[in-house]
């Protein structure tokens, strides 16, 4: 799917400003509050989510409920987690049979408890400073089947980057191991209030039926070490992390990889092959 550029609507921005004024609410920087004001873009996000009727939706940081209303209109049962007590209280006033509002920090919650252990979809305009920890939390939830997220454009580029690209790193490998990814569209700063200094992007992830690699402790250790010292070869980076140099070289050879290859050149599958050939986790302790 081609990446599309969204456009901002000033009339919608005025509605958001008036809503905040009625609450006497000022956007809080510490929570990364940049409210989506363009209803056209909000509609595209919900359309991109490909809602599966009967499957609950987890919305993180609903704010004034711009996305929430569209999700409900699309037939979704929504659990909205909002850290801001004032905004959560406003949204709770509209809660009903298909909307549950929780005033909490999503990073401090057990998502399986929130969703009742069911499979679920995630739709959110994420606070940018928390995007990475939230993503790492989501991908470890077996019930998370899809996510459709507004993130900083640079984060979207990291998510979909492949080997040999500067943006390719730990986040890329961790998410691509379990999810197929697509950048749906880019979004200009004018689509938000307050206006951020960066461009944004909407990225959709769908859980793979079979992961590209087994996410063992060893896999995580190898990936972190490989990207922790990007300028070093894989052999040197892993040796510095305490893995025997000679064995690393032998496993690289067995995996069909050159001895001077850097980790940033390996695909997710090649990281998995290396770890499979290495053996059990305790061998690298």
Give the integer Cα–Cα distance in Å for 146 and 49: 8
Q: What is the pLDDT of residue 20?
A: 67
The residues, any chain, with a CB within 8 Å of residue 1's CB and separated by 6 or more, are 182, 184
Residue by residue, pLDDT tens for the chain (285 residues) are 344 444 444 446 666 666 666 666 665 665 567 889 898 999 999 999 999 988 999 999 998 888 999 999 999 999 999 999 989 998 998 888 899 999 999 999 999 999 988 999 999 999 888 999 999 999 999 999 999 999 999 999 999 999 999 999 999 999 999 999 999 999 999 999 888 999 999 999 999 999 999 999 999 999 999 999 888 999 999 999 999 999 999 999 999 999 999 999 999 999 999 999 998 544 443
**pLDDT reported for residue 34:** 85
Predicted local distance difference test score (pLDDT) of residue 64 = 87
Sheet holding 179-187, edge to edge: 4-5, 179-187, 200-207, 144-152, 120-125, 57-60, 78-82, 99-103
Q: Does residue 5 sit in helix, strand or coil?
A: strand
* DSSP 8-state secondary structure symbol assigned to residue 158: H
What's the pTM? 0.89
Identical fold at 4-207 and 217-284?
Answer: no
So what's the pLDDT on residue 67? 95
- According to the CATH classification, is domain 217-284 in 1.10.10.10? no
Are residues 79 and 95 in contact, defined by beta-carbon separation less than 8 angstroms? no
Question: What DSSP state is assigned to residue 15?
Answer: H
DSSP E strands: which ranges in 141-214? 144-152, 179-187, 192-193, 200-207
CA distances (Å), origin 102, targets 86, 90, 262: 12, 12, 45
Mention every residue, 6+ apart, whose C-beta is less than 8 A from residue 241. 221, 224, 225, 228
2.10.109.10, 3.30.420.40, 1.20.1250.20, 3.40.50.150: CATH of 4-207: 3.40.50.150
pLDDT score at 156: 98
Domain assignments of the chain as residue spans, ordered by start: 4-207, 217-284
User: What is residue 97's predicted lDDT score, i.e. its pLDDT?
Assistant: 82
User: Looking at residue 280, what is its pLDDT?
Assistant: 55
């Amino acid at each position: 799917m081609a990446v599309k550029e969204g456009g901002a609507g000033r009339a919608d921005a005025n509605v958001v400003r008036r809503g905040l004024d009625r609450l006497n609410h000022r956007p809080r920087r510490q929570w990364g509050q940049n409210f989506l004001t363009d209803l056209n873009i909000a509609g595209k996000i919900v359309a991109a989510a490909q809602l599966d009727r009967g499957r609950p939706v987890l919305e993180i940081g609903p704010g004034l409920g711009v996305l929430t209303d569209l999700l409900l209109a699309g037939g979704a049962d929504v659990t909205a987690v909002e850290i801001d007590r004032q905004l959560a209280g406003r949204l709770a006033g509209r809660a009903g049979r298909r909307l549950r509002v929780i005033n909490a920090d999503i990073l401090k919650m057990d998502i399986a408890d929130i969703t009742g252990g069911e499979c679920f979809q995630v739709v959110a305009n994420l606070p940018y400073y928390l995007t990475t920890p939230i993503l790492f939390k989501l991908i470890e939830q077996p019930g998370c089947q899809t996510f459709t997220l507004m993130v900083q454009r640079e984060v979207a580029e990291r998510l979909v980057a492949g080997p040999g690209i500067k943006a390719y790193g730990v986040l890329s490998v961790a998410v691509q191991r379990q999810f197929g990814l697509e950048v749906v569209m880019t979004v200009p700063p004018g689509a938000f209030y307050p206006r951020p200094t960066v461009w944004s992007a909407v990225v959709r992830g769908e859980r793979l039926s079979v992961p590209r690699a087994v996410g063992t402790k060893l896999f995580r250790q190898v990936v972190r070490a490989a990207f922790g010292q990007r300028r070093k070869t894989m052999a040197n980076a892993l040796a510095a992390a305490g893995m025997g140099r000679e064995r690393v070289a032998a496993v690289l050879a067995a995996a069909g990889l050159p001895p001077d290859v850097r980790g940033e050149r390996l695909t997710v599958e090649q990281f998995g092959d290396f770890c499979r050939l290495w053996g059990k986790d305790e061998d690298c302790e």
